[in-house]
Structure 1
Amino acid sequence: MAAIFLSVFFGLLAVVFPWWLGIGLFVAPVVFFIAGRYPLFGLILTMFFLFNVIPERFIPQIPFVGGKLKIHDLLIIFLSGVVFFRYLVQRQSIRDLLGPAFWPLIYVLACIALGTVYGRLVLHQEFAISEARNHIGWLIMPLLALCVDTPQRFKILLRALLFAAIVIAIYVVIQSTFDINIMGGRVEMLDVRENADVTRSTAGGGVYLIIFALLYFLGMAQTRRMTWWLVLPVVVVLLAGLAVTFGRGVWVATAAGLLVASFLQRGFLHGVVVAVAGTILLSVLLAGVSLVNPRVVEVMVDRATGIKEEIKSGGSFHDRQIENAAAIKMIQTKPWFGTGLGGA
């Protein structure tokens, strides 16, 4: 009888409701059980959802006050409750464990709460509560401090993040090459004028993971803790992932980061060597790409050498200047309720 009931129930579920709801009823309890039993793995799984290592199109989203609540938001809240409850039961001071990060974190969370209340009750902004959802990610900071409390756990998290960076780099290269959307982010024409035939693939916050992994692997090779033959293929994949984002700011920041990191580790001369080696490696990468799609290389060179023109002509740089000027003016006018607090 029970088998018949379950068959009818899930049959109706598949017909009436979205496809992911039936899968979610099976997967969600397992995910939350693992997260509750092993918070570190729950945190890693949350980051995989957050950075779209598990593609967004496969992740259920729950309507929430004009916006959408995603599974990584629920996992962050759930994990925070589990971890904080464990430490309370064990009578350990969370304040002592977080150390100097405790009061800054309390300040940030208080600002978020104050801004949400002010935006909704005083300014009567319709989407104030749904916008507050974007700040749930701040809870990852104490979770990192509380879950990664031994060298072994740190190594597990580090390897997971490096794996995530490589996967994201592969995703964005595939998206740009075949003009398909895997991660659910922006996959679009580079512009509607000269470069409409080139696809730009964005990685969202995952681009910072790619940069981190690139710095890590190059640093390991420089200090001879990894062989260059092992590091080189990974570096090529990561560089390709950064290249197809066509973000000039990202390119400049990455190059500067590599030079500074090399200088701090091995001195000025080694920084020069890294710059030369990086130029050679980049040239080889561009030569390989030119065999597949010469137009992509042409556009990359144009964007890399056109930073000065971008600053003169405006474009996205000009937009950032306008935004920064407006934010500074708002903060000067309303120091307590300027930008970011209630959307004033």
Structure 2
Amino acid sequence: MISVTFPRQRISTFLPLVVFGAVLLVVCILSGLLAAVLPWWFVIALFVLPLVAILAIVAPELGLVFLLLSLSGVLPQAMLPELPLGPGRILASDLVIFALIFVAAFKLRKGLGVLAWDWFKPIFWLLALSAIAIVVGKFIFESPVKDVLQEARIQINWMIAPLVLMFISNRKRLNRFSIGIVLVGLIVAVAVVFQFATGKQIIANARVEELLTLETRYTDVTRSTAGGGIYFVLFSLLYVLALLFVRRVSVLIAFPVALILAAGIIVSFGRGIWIATAFAALLMAYFVRGKGGVASVIIVLSIAVSAALVGLAAFKPQTLEAAYERIVSTTKEGAGNSSLGWRFEEAGYAFSKIVSSPLVGIGYGTPYKPLIRLTGSEQDVALTRYIHNGYLGLWLKLGISGLLVVLWFSWRTYVRGLRMTSQSSDSQTKALAAALTAGFTVPVITSMTQPEWLAPLGVAYFAMTVGLLSALDRLSKDGAGGK
């Protein structure tokens, strides 16, 4: 009888290859079977979500970047399927947040004290008021549970703030996350410019339409928006400019990036965004370099905006004229058929409801204005609950306490961000704190005409800002800012 023995070293090398091949074969077979039985988007999700989970475990800050990317609407919807849950639904972004919370529960080593609760007091109050708004909407005003949950689920995005703080534990992760946000801003900017040039919508919930300014319709100019995703574009622009001013990035890199980001903001043709972004850029420059920084940012932005306008005019020749008229029309708004006129009418409906329930509001899911048939779809019903003024919306839905908490939240964040900027000795930390503080003022301003405090991306942007500022605060106190 002849016996054959194999060296242990060869077996130990060969066995993992056999196991990997067997697993790969099983995965291929299962993929084919699943594709024949399940919807194709569900099969894609089965592979994408585990990859995201692995990414969140290995580099959780990159998992946060993926979350912001999924919220921005630029990823194909087939990659982000929705799961039905009773009368409502769970979005892919919600699943990613739950997954990141699960990962954070295992990675948290220092106890809950690491969360720096003092930064998040206003958020806790807003979540508590949201719970009350659910009760008010469902049981007092008897609103459909589907509508109540649809508005309430937006508040889960506040969890981004503590997740950022928990995951950004050192300088390397801070740098990766900051660069990741800039990449998200660039992707969104490129997407809105593509929509502008082609007229094809690729961003979920974006507006791609002919530009209408007062009575003038520009058939050659497309208005391309990104919803709340535009805030990641403008923050990226502010941060790149701040890094340029503190000489942490070269002009050869900063200028083309700023050019793309500026183009993305221009094609939105949002006057509020334009004005607020210009104000934030001047504010950021003053925080970083004083009066000299203000002059520098005026020069840099003038060059970048002019170059972007010339480039955009190559696709749409009327762009320069349309942009000029868009700015000038700001002083002419107010007629009954204008967007500003409609907002005044909308505010009238809101005030009548606020007077009837000023303390607790009307809760989530409760309509406050009459139904107007525009599309003949369910969207018309949703518009009876939609309000442009975010501050009126807070008072309307959460009561007077909701408005007061947000004002307190805004003031605290601004003061603390400004203090951190002025006291920081590290140039990169100073640049990031300045960009975050100045960028925070933009949705605070635009919430006068946009419901950012009640919108998914608006809440996500506010939460990201506070989370990063709290992480910077902790790193500076722990002496880990340079590690």
TM-score, normalised on structure 1? Answer: 0.86
User: Which structure has the greater CA radius of gyration?
Assistant: 2
Give the counterpart letter for 1:143 in structure 2.
L
> Out of 40, 45, 51, which is 2:66 matched to?
45
Give the counterpart letter for 1:40 in structure 2.
E
Alignment correspondent of 1:154 = 174
Q: Per-residue deviation at 1:326? A: 4.7
User: Residues 1-344 of structure 1 correspond to what in structure 2 (within 5 A)?
Assistant: 13-15=34-36, 17-36=38-57, 38-84=59-105, 86-87=107-108, 90=109, 92-126=110-144, 127-184=147-204, 185-191=206-212, 194-311=217-334, 315-324=338-347, 326-327=349-350, 330-331=353-354, 333-338=356-361, 343=366
- When residues 264 and 6 of structure 1 are mapped into structure 2, their CA distance, relative to the original with a 3 A threshold, is closer
* Structure 2 CA distance for aligned equivalents of residues 145 and 7 of structure 1: 39
Q: Per-residue deviation at 1:187? A: 1.9
* Structure 2 CA distance for aligned equivalents of residues 273 and 25 of structure 1: 50
2:62 alignment partner, SS class = helix
Where do 5+ consecutive residues of structure 1 fail to align?
Answer: none
- When residues 99 and 9 of structure 1 are mapped into structure 2, their CA distance, relative to the original with a 3 A threshold, is closer
* Structure 1 CA distance for aligned equivalents of residues 278 and 25 of structure 2: 62
Decide whether the 8 Å contact of 1:330 with 1:339 is kept in 2: yes
Decide whether the 8 Å contact of 1:59 with 1:71 is kept in 2: yes
- When residues 135 and 6 of structure 1 are mapped into structure 2, their CA distance, relative to the original with a 3 A threshold, is same
Greater CA drift, 116-125 or 185-194? 185-194
Number of residues of Structure 1 aligned to a counterpart in Structure 2: 340
2:84 alignment partner, SS class = strand
Aligned sequence identity (%): 32
Q: Per-residue deviation at 1:15? A: 4.9
- When residues 245 and 81 of structure 1 are mapped into structure 2, their CA distance, relative to the original with a 3 A threshold, is same
- When residues 300 and 340 of structure 1 are mapped into structure 2, their CA distance, relative to the original with a 3 A threshold, is farther
Greater CA drift, 223-232 or 199-208? 223-232
Root mean square deviation, CA, Å? 3.0
Structure 1, residues 239-280: CA drift from partner, whole Å, max 9, x if none?
A: 111111111111111111112222333333542353244334
Decide whether the 8 Å contact of 2:151 with 2:365 is kept in 1: no
TM-score, normalised on structure 2? Answer: 0.63
* Structure 1 CA distance for aligned equivalents of residues 231 and 296 of structure 2: 24
Greater CA drift, 28-37 or 244-253? 28-37
Structure 1, residues 168-191: CA drift from partner, whole Å, max 9, x if none?
A: 101110111011222223222223
* Large movers: runs of 4+ above 6 Å: 2-9
1:292 alignment partner, SS class = coil
Structure 1, residues 281-309: CA drift from partner, whole Å, max 9, x if none?
A: 42333233333321222212211222111
Q: Per-residue deviation at 1:57? A: 4.8
Give the counterpart letter for 1:141 in structure 2.
A
2:263 alignment partner, SS class = helix
